[in-house]
Structure 1
Amino acid sequence: MILSRQILTILLLLSTLGCKKAYDPNPELITIDLERGDFILCSAGRFGDVDFLTSCSENTRETFNLAISLLHSFEYVEAEKAFVKVIDADPSCSMAYWGVAMSIYHSLWMQSDKSYLQKGVKLLEIANKFQLSEKEKDYLDAICVFYMDWETVKPETRKNLYEKKMETLYHKYRNDAETAIFYALALRAAANPNDKTYAKQKKSGKILEDLFEKYPNHPGIAHYIIHNYDYPELAYKALNTARRYAQIAPASAHAQHMPSHIFTRLGLWEESIKSNINSTESARCYSESINPSGHWDEELHGMDYLVYAYLQIGDNSKAKEQYDYLKTFDLVFPANFKVAYSSAAIPTRIAIENKNWLEASTLQLPKSNIDWGSFPWQTAILHFGKILGLVHIGSISDAENELEILKGLHQELADQNDNYKANQVLIQINSAEAWIKFAKGNRKEALVYMLKASELESNTSKHAVTPCEVLPADELLGDLYLQLNEPTQALKAYEFSLKNHPNRFNSIYGAATAAKLLGHENKSKHYFESLVKLTKNAGCDRPELNEAKKNLNLI
């Protein structure tokens, strides 16, 4: 039930009625596509506590702070609506135009549709025409560097320019919490995904941790701490924050989901499942309010994390329920990179995590309104899974044909200078080459390719959109070593995989198998016991679990 929309509408009407000054609409906005309408917030409406001071009309302050809260939880559409409501009430409120520009920025992932950049330029041009305080001018100048020259300057460069601008403001306004929080987010957004020292993430995290003590109910602080530490090496630093964020902003579907990033990094599957059940339920409420026949991207994002967690506890029944549900989707909105990733990853994960190679060999892109031609990285996931399936059922020539498609997708990303995603597909290409070579009897070449894939993946950070690679390269390396009858190397590969992906079902089983082959009875027993413990609440019927129980004399 959408309680908050009614509450907020009443509050906003009362504040408008109490305002003596009338404003005329800004005619310059006519040509700009802005989000308008009632707020759609599926809970009691709590998004955390913020206090962002501006020189805008006093009667817009409550709405402006709501907009900032929504922005900090990446509720971008509703944030834009709130900022636009401020603009409609006070057309000279320059910071509301800034707010819309921030709401369409989506700093942690770049949108494929470039129209938002043109929109941002127009908004900031209008905002700069009004009388500005010094701080407001600084804020506008900062975000302007991201939108300026967008047609000729790479997104990464513009992100870095924005970060530098916010760093200047951070030092200039040392006592302003919001400036520090937005600077911390800019740092995280500009972090190099290939920097395994996580220098910017740690710097950002330290700023936020210090602020969290003073502002324990601020949604942005909690949210961005999680994003900064969403890595195997750092996740432990955000566990307490992860367990708090959903309570700070219970009205946000994204806030319900975000803790599962940390739970996933730490292999806390039951907590991840609970987090994403709450998130997807909230997202469905939002979808039904916008378009009852459609599905919001936040729902699909949560579903991918939910499926991944179910698979790690061996609950195929629940995982397949999510996939069957996904197959009913005809309309998704917005049809963006998150939706494309989840739609490709969910069926691929279910097939290849279960080593159901026949099912993997027949994977097809889900039918919905997604323009798959705009998402080569996501499309590559399905083709990669298909290659593994084809190799294992002996259809080598078909696998080689799929490999050519994979290489074409890699080239497409390389031509777009999308280096991170191109590298992700390159990892898949090397893994695919390895298993094709192995199937053709070229054992040495197979190992060379698989080691290369493992090295590439070890030097690359995980993208925030995914709970995990559809199959970690280190785990695939362990599988190959077992096929090569090298259990010592297999055990090392599986244990390295578990270091980066704690409590992964297949890595635990692989480690148990390798240890058993080596005669390491205690270690084998430890891993088999871990598998039994991992699956105890899932009703798991996977053959690996039965083998574990037999080895432990439980059946």
Structure 2
Amino acid sequence: MSIRRLVMWLSLALAACGKPKAENTDKPAPAAAQPPGSAARPAPAAPAVPASSDGYDAGALGALRFEVSGGTPEAKREFTRGLLALHSFWYDEATRRFQAAIDADSTFAMAYWGLAMSHAKLLWADDNVAAGQDALRRMPAPETLPPHDQAWVVAAVALYRAGDVRTSRKQFLDVMEQLNDKFPEDESALFLALALLSSFQPGDPREVEIRKRAGGLAAAVFRRNPKHPGAAHYMIHAYDTPELAPLALPAAQQYAAIAPAAFHALHMPAHIFVRLGMWKEAVASCQAAWDASVAWVRRDKLSPDHQDFHSLSWLIELNFERGRRKDAERAFAVYADAVRGGLPHDKRAAYANQVASFLARTGEWARIDELLAPLQAAASDGASGDHGGGCGHGGPPGPPNALFERRAVLGTRAQAAAARRDPATLARILDERDAVDAELHPFLVATQPKDFVDSADKIRGLVRRALVARAAGDDRALVAALKPLATDQDTEFTGEGTAGGILHHEAIAEALVRLGQPKQAVAEYRFVLANHAGRARSLLGAARAAAKAGDAAASRELYQKLVAVWSEADEGTEGLSEARQAVASRP
């Protein structure tokens, strides 16, 4: 059956749906969690689920109840595990389990729905449209499904209609609103929450409103079923902002124990811990996530690129924040070794960006060639790194990842040239990067909304101006170029608590200090600290700037906070002795 025909008759079926099914009477009892308005109070962490000897528990993914028609008992077990994995964004496992359900019972129509959904990475805008549509086309006898199941298939069809990603997300949200109205249950509430979270862009004026609604939907399910991975997961995503983060702390403290088999479930609590300045807990989350991903790759004999390099990157950044450079360097060395062993271009591009952050934190820009050297190894996905069709809606070519890697490398080299006050080298690198951008432009035009492409062009010009100013030592020009970039970065990090080696507001503050404006510099640093609690670079910079501005009390208070963050820092950490002396001195 074609997708068009499926859309036609399923749309009619949804409109004709009867009353919602009665709620299951055997749902878990309400949890003793705090109501949404008081969720800032810490909840006790759930007991950890025992893992196997290699640190990987192949079974624990949480618990849910989702009544669908058809399927043998074995097929339904695989279906449930696939859905649990899907809620923790463990897409490989979800795909494998939904396919196992189909293999166990090829007439189980809803298993094809699950397989289709496993190819849509809703929050990451990275869908395998061809695979999703193929799963829906292969669905046996969809016209015989009961209205409840038809409604879910309609939602999947809406998600995979031709069109750009933003349109696809809007279509999915519209259908999920209808589905949740007609069939209110835990799964419809959670997929509606997920649809809401995928529907806005950073800077959207309705973002806070949308986040609160999505978080409320997830929190209600979490109270009914505190073992549901999607409930905890989507609460964390919804409340992943400086203002809302306390509302997700109970979920963050329990999610890892709910689904310890899913490395993403082990990582996600770090988003909230970072927002709240809980650096040690965030490090533990990311270390557990990395270790679980390594065990999974070893266990299932997968390629190294399946490992959780996102958590590995966070380990580098978070250990720097704690003043533990030795631990950061160990994590960085693991990343470098993996690049030498062969990773695809997208992971290599991320490594190049990590090098830039490492150098910004240490100031050791002369090591640029040494730290980029692992990229001399061959990429595991060939010279181009293109994924082919199917990554976007409407069938555009896959991303030219080799070009994105080249651009990341040039960006890191440009930062090094600017920091080393080498205008000639910087000019050459920027010309090379412009040539890469010209090659990338057709792909961006074909796959991204016009406003995104226009914004990217504008930002590229501002970055060039800032780099040229830095290379020339012109701090006034640097501040002028960085201010609009800082405004853009403020929205970029709305949903990502961790940040790289230096933020634009921090660079502005450092320039203001050099320009003899320490009071204004303190204001820039405090803006960063309001959004990134306990960020070490800003605490140290603000303490020094406050002292220069003659505000000894503020300076001492900031040093005290830094000493607390660095309570387990490596001896010799730059600024540690200075902070201790300031705190020890009499006010």
Distance 1:422 1:243 in 2: 41
Residue 250 (1) aligns with residue 264 (2):
no
Per the TM alignment, residue 523 of structure 1 is displaced from its structure 2 partner at its CA by 0.9
Matched, 1:400 2:427: yes
Is the contact between residue 509 and residue 527 of structure 1 (CA under 8 Å) also seen in structure 2?
yes
The answer to whether the Cα contact below 8 Å between 1:56 and 1:90 also exists between their aligned partners in 2 is no
Work out the CA distance in 2 between the residues paired with 1:135 and 1:378. Answer: 45
Cα drift, residue 233 of structure 1: 2.5
Change (3 A) 1:529 1:471: same
Q: Match of 2:87?
A: 72
Q: Which amino acid aligns with 2:538?
A: S
Q: Is the 8 A contact 1:475 1:493 kept in 2?
A: yes
The alpha carbon displacement at 1:43 in A equals 0.8
Change (3 A) 1:257 1:378: farther
Match of 1:346 in 2: 354
Residue 302 of structure 1 is matched in structure 2 by 311
The 5-angstrom pairing of residues 362-401 of structure 1 reads 364=372, 366=375, 367=377, 368-369=379-380, 371=385, 373-374=400-401, 380-401=407-428
Among all aligned residue pairs of Structure 1 and Structure 2, give the percentage whose two residues are the same amino acid: 25
1:494 to 512, 525, 528: 525
DSSP-derived class of the 2:131 partner: helix
> What CA distance in whole angstroms lies between the structure 1 residues aligned with 2:341 and 2:123?
21
Alignment partner, residue 86 of structure 1: 101
Aligned to 1:261: 271
Q: 1:237 to 1:458 in 2, by over 3 A?
A: same
User: Structure 1 194/383 Cα, relative in aligned 2: closer, same or farther at 3 Å?
Assistant: farther
Aligned partner of 1:206 in structure 2 is 216
Q: Which residue of 2 aligns with 1:56?
A: 70
Indicate the residue corresponding to 1:43 in structure 2: 57
* Cα distance in 2, alignment partners of residues 425 and 498 from structure 1: 29
Q: Deviations over 1:352-373 (max 9, x none)?
A: 1122222347653734426394
Residue in 2 that maps onto 1:314? 323
Give the match's secondary structure for 1:198: helix
Question: After the TM superposition, which of the residue ranges 429-438 and 451-460 deviates more from structure 2?
Answer: 429-438
User: How far did residue 160 of structure 1 move?
Assistant: 0.9
Cα deviation, residue 287, structure 1:
1.1
CA distance in 1, matches of 2:216, 2:409: 38
What residue in structure 2 maps to residue 97 of structure 1? Answer: 112
- Change in CA separation of 1:521 and 1:381 when aligned onto 2, cut-off 3 Å: farther
| Deviation of the 1:310 alpha carbon | 0.2
Q: Work out the CA distance in 2 between the residues paired with 1:336 and 1:99.
A: 29
Is structure 2 residue 553 aligned with structure 1 residue 532? no
Q: In structure 2, what is the Cα distance between the partners aligned to 1:532 and 1:456? A: 31
In the alignment, the residues of structure 2 paired with residue 376 and residue 488 of structure 1 have an alpha-carbon distance, to the nearest angstrom, of 42
Pair 119,53 (structure 1): closer, same or farther in 2 beyond 3 Å = same
> Shift in Å at residue 327 of structure 1?
1.6
Deviations 1:119-157 (A, max 9, x none): 2112111226342111211111111122122xxx11111
Match runs of 1:9-48 below 5 Å: 42-43=56-57, 45-48=59-62
Q: In the alignment, what sits opposite 1:216?
A: 226
Which of residues 182, 191, 194 in structure 1 aligns to 2:191?
Answer: 182
**TM-fit CA distance, 1:502:** 1.2
1:191 counterpart = 2:223: no
Unaligned runs of 5+ in 1: 1-39
Specify the code of the residue in structure 2 equivalent to 1:110.
A
Structure 2 contact 267–289 (Cα < 8 Å) conserved: yes
In structure 1, C-alpha distance between the alignment counterparts of 2:573 and 2:290, rounded to whole Å: 26
Q: Which residue of 1 aligns with 2:337?
A: 328
SS in 2 for 1:161: helix
1:436 aligns with 2:462: no
Is 1:161 equivalent to 2:171 in the alignment?
Answer: yes
Report the more deviating stretch, 514-523 or 400-409: 400-409
Q: Which runs of 5+ in 2 are unaligned?
A: 1-53, 387-399
Q: Is the 8 A contact 2:513 2:521 kept in 1?
A: yes
Shift of 1:384: 3.7
- TM-score of the superposed pair, with normalisation by structure 1: 0.84
TM-score of the pair, normalised by structure 2? 0.79
Larger mean Cα displacement after TM superposition, 512-521 or 118-127: 118-127
Over 3 Å counting, the alpha-carbon distance change for 1:80 and 1:333 in structure 2 is farther
| Partner residue, 2:576 | 545
Which amino acid is the alignment partner of residue 542 of structure 2?
A
- From the superposition, tell whether residues 480 and 406 of structure 1 become closer, same or farther in structure 2 (CA, over 3 Å): farther
> C-alpha separation between the residues in 2 aligned to 1:162 and 1:242?
27
Structure-to-structure mapping, 1:267-306, within 5 angstroms: 267-291=277-301, 294-306=303-315
Give the alignment partner of residue 453 of structure 1, picking from 485, 499, 505.
Answer: 485
* Counterpart selection for 2:534 from 503, 507, 515: 503
Change (3 A) 1:330 1:526: closer
Q: Secondary structure at the match of 2:304?
A: strand
Check the 8 A contact 1:428/1:453 in 2, yes or no.
no
CA-based RMSD of the aligned residues comes to 2.8
* Shift in Å, 1:77: 1.1
Structure 1 residue identity aligned to 2:481: Y
Query: Relative to structure 2, which stretch is displaced further, 262-271 or 383-392?
Result: 383-392
Aligned CA distance change for structure 1 residues 288 and 459 (closer, same or farther; 3 Å): closer
Q: CA deviation at 1:553?
A: 5.2
- Tell me how far 1:452 sits from its aligned partner: 1.2
Q: Distance in 2 between matches of 1:355 and 1:146?
A: 46
Number of paired residues? 505
Contact kept? 1:319, 1:350, Cα under 8 Å: no
Which residue identity does 2:380 align to in structure 1?
Answer: N
Cα distance in 2 for residues equivalent to 1:260 and 1:421:
31
Distance 2:405 2:501 in 1: 11
